[in-house]
Amino acid sequence: METALRERFWERYSLEELTPPEWEALCDGCGQCCLLKLHDDEAQELAILNVACRLLDTHSCQCSDYENRFESVPDCTQLTPALVKEFTWLPQTCGYRRVAEGRKLAGWHPLLSNDAERVHRKGISVRGFAVSQDEVPERQLEEHIIAVLPMS
């Protein structure tokens, strides 16, 4: 299987045209998409918590079982080119969101910096503030809200 990444693919191709390895490489490793969210359909709001999916390693900000994540966590967020535009909760820093919006990747992005730790040093990742959902009883989830966004 060919796994080579095309040169500066994120500038030359749309999200829909990326190969699977290119799609994966576009992830900046922040772990923000793995934070739990509470939907309030009545208020049309989405609360983001500092509680991460039980599969997220909160230090590396990588899924501990990426290949099998949907078996363990059926409602795991699967990011696709179409959903990037729908998931308005993705942070402004997200590589997928930036490319979808026609913006350049941030200079700290691993594809530009060749340094996967930079996202953590810059304070963009969930490292240092996210806790695993295994550590938070469901009745206490609302105490972990860090942002409330309008659902639009």
pLDDT band at 151; cut points 50, 70, 90: confident
pLDDT(2) > 80: no
pLDDT(111) > 90: yes
Give the mean model confidence (pLDDT) for residues 20-28. 96
pTM for the model: 0.91
Task: Name beta bridge partners: 82.
Answer: none
Distance CA 33, CA 69 (A): 14
Instruction: Give me the long-range contacts of 5-14 (CB less than 8 A, separation at least 24).
Output: 10/95, 10/99, 10/105, 10/111, 11/104, 14/81
* Token reading at 91: 């942070």
Q: What is the mean pLDDT of the chain?
A: 94
Distance CA 143, CA 145 (A): 6
* Token reading at 51: 């509680």
To 5 degrees, how large is the angle CA 98–CA 49–CA 108? 30
Give the mean model confidence (pLDDT) for residues 12-19. 96
Per-residue pLDDT of 43-96, as tens digits, reads: 999 999 999 999 999 999 999 999 999 999 998 988 999 999 899 899 999 999
* pLDDT at residue 120, rounded to an integer: 97
Choose among 51, 52, 71: nearest CA to 62.
52
Instruction: Give me the long-range contacts of 95-101 (CB less than 8 A, separation at least 24).
Output: 95/10, 95/26, 95/27, 95/28, 96/15, 96/26, 96/27, 99/10, 99/15, 99/26, 100/15
* pLDDT at residue 107, rounded to an integer: 96
Place of tokens 């953590």: 120
* pLDDT at residue 117, rounded to an integer: 97
Give the mean model confidence (pLDDT) for residues 32-46. 94
pLDDT(146) > 80: yes
pLDDT(112) > 60: yes
* pLDDT at residue 77, rounded to an integer: 87
Distance CA 133, CA 56 (A): 9
